[in-house]
Structure 1
Amino acid sequence: MHIHGTEVRQRVLTLLRDGAQNADLARQFNIPIGTIGYWKHRDRAERGECPGRRPSPCPRCDGVLNSPAYAYLLGLYLGDGHIIQNRAMRSPSLSITCDESHPGLMDACEDAMRSVLPGNSVCRVRRKGCRELKVYSMHLWCLFPQHGPGKKHERTIALEAWQQAIVDAHPWEFIRGLIHSDGCRITNWTTRMVGGERKRYEYPRYFFTNVSDDIRRLYTDTLDKLGIEWTHCTRKGHAYNISVARKASVALMDVHVGPKY
């Protein structure tokens, strides 16, 4: 390993400041080009001229947030999303898990991520039976203040005033995101005696299932504002399921949400 004295380093830095090229100086002084680059970077950093990308604007703070897309993405996050800070990455990542049997849902999720964070890349990570859609951004803490340690149902989940305003303005997008994450549209059936003969009847029904009392309340409060009739569906002593089965309410849900695809 070669040790280069302070005098040589200063001569190189002087030439770099004058516009000399890294490769030319590496040949002139017989110094690895990586060392030249490191010296240049350190020198510019100490003088406040360190190169790098300018931070992207925060969609919320800078007033450029795509509200409909955010309402949908917020619903997805509250259902199947989480934010993590990987030690190997400078930026936190938002991950939304989507079943592989619903490619349309994955496309909708990716579109929402790109609309909310247009300057960031979105990737799909293959998992067993599903895909994890991820986007990295330093602004995720600002966009999703519900993030915190532990599971969502073990901590309070409440919308901030600016989030509630967006949900109130775009309630169907929020409902759609929640259904696409933790909900489904199924066909139920029952039998009735008609003229002495038992007949089978089928009818569509929407379910939303979430362990968090707070998230279920956000869902039902929004349904109430939309005039959608719902009931608790208790299973094994737990009222984790919210059912929408009234014909008029299901028809309205079909117009704005529909089945997963």
Structure 2
Amino acid sequence: MYDISTRKRALALVSQGRSLNSVSKQTGISRAAIRSWQTRLEPLRWNRARPCPRCRDAPEMPGQPHAYAYLLGLYLGDGCISYLRAGVYFLRITCADAWPGLIDECADAMQTIRPDNKVFRVQRQDCQNVTCYSKHWPCLFPQHGPGKKHERRIALEPWQQEIVDAHPWEFVRGLIHSDGCRITNWTTRLVGGERKRYEYPRYFFTNTSTDIIRLFTGTLDKLGVEWKSLNQSRAAVTISIARKASVALMDAHVGPKH
């Protein structure tokens, strides 16, 4: 990252009539960077972000643990962290356009965790990527690593587990909002010789990572939510929540996507 004085010196050379190419060769700064400074001199906001609570001499939990628990669930389902440059990473969570309320909740949680960093919404086909740049995403989500999540071990750090234990429903909501759904099933029964249709709500959660499935079901067990694993031929595992009392609990704390 270049400080303001360096940026001003490069722009001063350009103002003398020098080409971007010649200024780049003289200063060692890329033409793209110099061109961007012509429209924005100030560094992007991530350079001025407050310190990471996990990087301090005495690490602390994120200041809003309920928002963190929800964002952790979203990240484990539909999120990824990528390296940008100069030690900066970006967290990206992909949300379907069909659920605008979910997109808003995702952006709010991300902004709450890194309040000094700008949250972007990048439109893609039928979805939005909710993104935020920070040097500290790997500190806050140590599950980040090379390769796909289901191909590597996913385990919570003790401080993360403490947050999930304190805010289990927010964690479950994040997982359901990423890789889960609430649907209405139906069946028919013969009653007095007449076939009648019955409808009942049901929750599903599907993920290819056995570790993430274990985190989900382990949290459900602590909450008293009954579940079962469906038999499938595909690699992904689907967890079903269909018992009336358990669905009522899920409806009270999670609810359908919106």
TM range (shorter): 0.7 to 0.9
Deviation, 1:197, is 1.6
Q: 1:187-226 to 2 correspondence within 5 Å?
A: 187-226=184-223
Deviation, 1:237, is 5.8
Partner residue of 2:84?
86
CA distance in 1: counterparts of 2:150 and 2:206, whole angstroms: 12
User: What stretches of structure 2 of length at least 5 have no aligned partner?
Assistant: 28-41
Deviation, 1:195, is 1.2
Q: 1:251 to 1:65 in 2, by over 3 A?
A: same
Partner residue of 1:101?
98
User: How many corresponding residue pairs?
Assistant: 223
Deviation, 1:134, is 0.2
Deviation, 1:90, is 4.8
1:143 to 124, 140, 144: 140
8 Å CA contact 1:94–1:135 kept in 2: the answer is: yes
From the CA coordinates, give the structure whose radius of gyration is larger. Answer: 1
Q: 1:258 to 1:217 in 2, by over 3 A?
A: same
> Could you tell me the TM-score, scaled by structure 1's length?
0.78
Greater CA deviation, 231-240 or 173-182?
231-240
Partner residue of 1:114?
111
Secondary structure in 2 aligned to 1:78? helix
Deviation, 1:205, is 0.2
Partner residue of 1:71?
69
Counting aligned pairs with the same residue, the percent is: 63
> Any idea what the Cα deviations from partners look like across 1:152-192, whole Å, max 9, x if unmatched?
00111000100000000000000000000000000001111
> Could you tell me the TM-score, scaled by structure 2's length?
0.79
CA RMSD of aligned residues (A): 2.7
8 Å CA contact 1:232–1:239 kept in 2: the answer is: no
Q: 1:157 to 1:245 in 2, by over 3 A?
A: same
1:244 to 238, 241, 245: 241
8 Å CA contact 1:156–1:214 kept in 2: the answer is: yes
Deviation, 1:86, is 2.6
Deviation, 1:238, is 5.0
2:74 maps to amino acid: L
User: What stretches of structure 1 of length at least 5 have no aligned partner?
Assistant: 1-15, 17-21, 40-50
Q: 1:161 to 1:66 in 2, by over 3 A?
A: same
